[in-house]
Structure 1
């Protein structure tokens, strides 16, 4: 039996008396545990630290497992922790187009977007998915077409019908992820703003029929994105914010999209 607490206490040092692959297999199982301590404090924290020690073929195999788990696992906690591990893998420089395909299939359609569950602990589908979206957005292997797909997926996640109002900074996490994508210099001015069109329709519906949860979530996220457009984006490892290349036109577009949300109703 692996003493995971001892590994945590020893600052994630890899035990010398066990095959590393065997330990990683155990962690992969812990990542779908309904026990929040085993899944989050143990499984995720240790796996996230150990990803950098994997050889490239092993990172690819782990990524394949997580991608399949996102789309096919029946357990919500398994689906929502898979993107966190994929985030670590992609951030190490390993990428497969199939992982992006799996993310595109899962993220806008995940029905359970609660932040915290009293028994399962943190689920955080929107926030965890946002972290992976941002990692894809910073990956050099992701081309312009895929960047546009990521922006579309982000707005599709926001405008998808839901009854859950963001209550655990999901709006901040998704705005940051979109901002990371928008720092890519390959995007043209039009490409930096055209993806906002679905939000216009969401806010138009709000004016016709009254407030909706998805409109609330969308406006809060886009307001935070405006801040990133204005102040720049502090990327991992950076010491100063990186400007969004088309910040001026993006702020103008965000202002236009958000204007109807300030119209008095009733």
Structure 2
């Protein structure tokens, strides 16, 4: 079956074909062809998941497969695994082992390019952020651990400055986790302590890429403490301890730009 035909038919296929096509689409997520992978395989699978066309057993099996992909060799296999897992978790299906697999991969991924001329969108940081936001809002995920994982990603040593709104996507994930009603004020700001230690190690000279990535992520998060962040229902939600988080961010951003105020 032609993938474009499925999309043209409003993503509808006969139910008996779903298992076979799901397997083929899953494999296509590893393709180096950005049209096959992104425009076709991802679009179709994400739509089927959102519409509830895949039953719980099939979602669990697909999620297990995506979690294993975090150790795949092709970069696109790893990053699109995160994106499909985000769809599965957002649809209400979750395994704790998926978070463990994600946590082992996300802060250690070295290829953080947004776009490649041949492979198309890769977006490890952004796709991982989408998954982090979905998982970090789940009651079975420790919010402090999820927030700490976002810090590990920000301050990870790198030679690459994020350029395709990866910082914005990561800040949105952080903000969504910070809307959790079970968060204490201490947890809402305690996760930022590693940024202080990161800054203590700074030296005179050009701003390192990791410092730039961190600074710009925290600037967006500051804005979201004021405006709120869009939830899964499309409505803006306030952060649980917005005032305390905003004050803590002010302290950190002042350290990045001591000459500003």
Does residue 122 of structure 1 match 2:152? no
The structural deviation recorded for 1:62 is: 0.3
Does residue 42 of structure 1 match 2:52? no
Partner of 2:184: 188
Structure 1, gaps ≥5 residues long: none
1:61-140 equivalences under 5 Å are 61-70=61-70, 72-140=71-139
Instruction: Check whether the contact 1:175–1:222 (CA below 8 A) recurs between aligned residues.
Output: yes
Instruction: Check whether the contact 2:137–2:143 (CA below 8 A) recurs between aligned residues.
Output: no
Q: Deviations over 1:170-189 (max 9, x none)?
A: 01100000000000011111
Number of residue pairs matched by the alignment: 258
The structural deviation recorded for 1:202 is: 2.4
For normalisation by structure 1, the TM-score amounts to: 0.93
- Moved >6 Å (runs of 4+): none
Partner SS, residue 229 of structure 2: coil
In 2, Cα distance between equivalents of 1:15 and 1:119: 34
The structural deviation recorded for 1:15 is: 3.9
Q: Deviations over 1:18-60 (max 9, x none)?
A: 6210000100010000000000000100010112211111100
Does residue 251 of structure 1 match 2:246? yes
Does residue 172 of structure 1 match 2:171? no
Partner of 1:230: 226
The structural deviation recorded for 1:77 is: 0.4
Partner SS, residue 237 of structure 2: coil
For normalisation by structure 2, the TM-score amounts to: 0.95
Q: CA RMSD in A?
A: 1.5
